[in-house]
Amino acid sequence: MQEISKKDRMKIPRQPMPEQQPDIRNSNFQEVNLGFTEELARMEALRCIQCPKPTCTSGCPVGINIREFINLVAEGDYLGAAAKIKQDNALPAVCGRVCPQEEQCEAVCVVGKKNEPVAIGRLERFVADYEREHVGIRQPEVKPKTGKRVAIIGSGPAGLSCAGDLIQMGHDVTVFEALHELGGVLVYGIPEFRLPKEIVKAEVDGLRKLGVDFQTNAVIGFTDTIDELLANGYDAVFIAVGAGLPYFMNIPGENHNGVYSSNEFLTRVNLMKAYKFPEFDTPVFDCKGKNVAVFGGGNTAMDAVRTSKRLGAKNAYIIYRRSDAEMPARKEEVHHAKEEGIQFLYLENPLEFIGENGWLKQVKLRKMELGEPDASGRRKPVPVPGSEHIMDIDMAVVAIGNGSNPIIQKTTPDIDYNKRGNIVVDEATMKTSKKGVFAGGDIVTGGATVILAMGAGRKAAAAINNYLSV
- The contact set with another protein (CB under 8 A) reads 178-180, 208, 214-219, 222-224, 244-246, 248, 250, 254-255, 257-258, 260-261, 263-264, 267-268, 272-273, 277-283, 285-286, 357-358, 405-407
Please, which residue, 139 or 232, has the CB nearer to another protein? 232
Using alpha carbons only, what angle is made at residue 192 by residues 88 and 263, rounded to the nearest 5 degrees?
90
Q: At what angle do helices 38-46 and 66-74 cross, to 10 degrees?
A: 130
CB of 358 to another protein, least distance (A): 4
- Could you tell me which of 41, 38, 45, 83 has the C-alpha nearest to residue 64? 83
CB of 405 to another protein, least distance (A): 6
CB of 216 to another protein, least distance (A): 7
Pairing of strands 437-439, 236-239: parallel
Please, which residue, 122 or 310, has the CB nearer to another protein? 310
Taking the C-alpha atoms of residue 104 and residue 89, their distance in angstroms, rounded to an integer, is 14
Please, which residue, 95 or 313, has the CB nearer to another protein? 313
Please, which residue, 176 or 467, has the CB nearer to another protein? 176
CB of 168 to another protein, least distance (A): 20
- Could you tell me which of 377, 358, 300, 356 has the C-alpha nearest to residue 333? 300
Please, which residue, 123 or 220, has the CB nearer to another protein? 220
CB of 282 to another protein, least distance (A): 4
CB of 423 to another protein, least distance (A): 17
Taking the C-alpha atoms of residue 191 and residue 428, their distance in angstroms, rounded to an integer, is 33
CB of 351 to another protein, least distance (A): 17
Please, which residue, 22 or 403, has the CB nearer to another protein? 403
* Residue 88, CA distances (Å) to 83, 114, 168, 458 in order: 9, 29, 14, 8
Q: What is the CA radius of gyration of the chain?
A: 23
CB of 348 to another protein, least distance (A): 23
Please, which residue, 49 or 363, has the CB nearer to another protein? 363
- Which segments within 275-403 are labelled E, that is strand? 291-295, 315-319, 343-345, 348-356, 359-373, 379-383, 389-392, 395-398, 402-403
Please, which residue, 37 or 216, has the CB nearer to another protein? 216
Q: At what angle do helices 299-310 and 331-339 cross, to 10 degrees?
A: 20
- Could you tell me which of 14, 37, 20 has the C-alpha nearest to residue 119? 14
Q: DSSP assignment, residue 271?
A: I
